Copies of this chain bind each other. A is one copy, B any other.
């Protein structure tokens, strides 16, 4: 038990990437109790003088080496442990090609496909589920996907990212029409060769920072 209003406060980060056509999430293998040997989301108690937002940015950088990506506060959970702790959760989107996972024997990080997660410590599956729902909703009305793609990309690449997140195939023609009409992306003038097809037009996000509605 803790005093009135004084609670352990942690930050938790759901870090997503798309790799091999699958949406994946970063997990850390716990090397100490409680839940020793289990996997959990990156995170931990706030350091003195540190706010939850700063803790989330720190964790993201520590585990993946990246900064300056899509990172958004998600929800504050409070019943994930039995110590009346409060967990401020975040989700981040990282381009796997730019991420360099921390190399550690203890508490090693690894990417896991969201549709094949192991049992998670501290009811973290609730946090992942919530983040996934928010991410899927955001796809509809924001430029959230920019963090998962290189600066220039083809519409096919963009579609594969959307399909990985949504977990289903999309109609190519409808997808293209919708993407272009939303005004989130612009053609760069460049072209890329994909397989044996004729070179495909390259696009870029108008903004490579969160545009929220």
Contact = CB atoms under 8 A, between A and B. Distances in A.
How many protomers of this protein does the assembly include?
2
A4 interface: yes
A3 B48 CA distance: 7
Nearest to A54: B78
Contacts of A51: 78-79
A93 B69 CA distance: 34
Given A52-B86, A88-B86, A45 B76 contact: no
List the 10 closest A-B pairs by CB distance, nearest first: A5-B45, A51-B78, A76-B76, A7-B9, A5-B8, A76-B88, A9-B86, A5-B46, A6-B6, A52-B78
Interface residues of A, number: 31
Nearest to A213: B137
A87 to B, nearest CB: 10
Interface string A41-54: 00011111101110
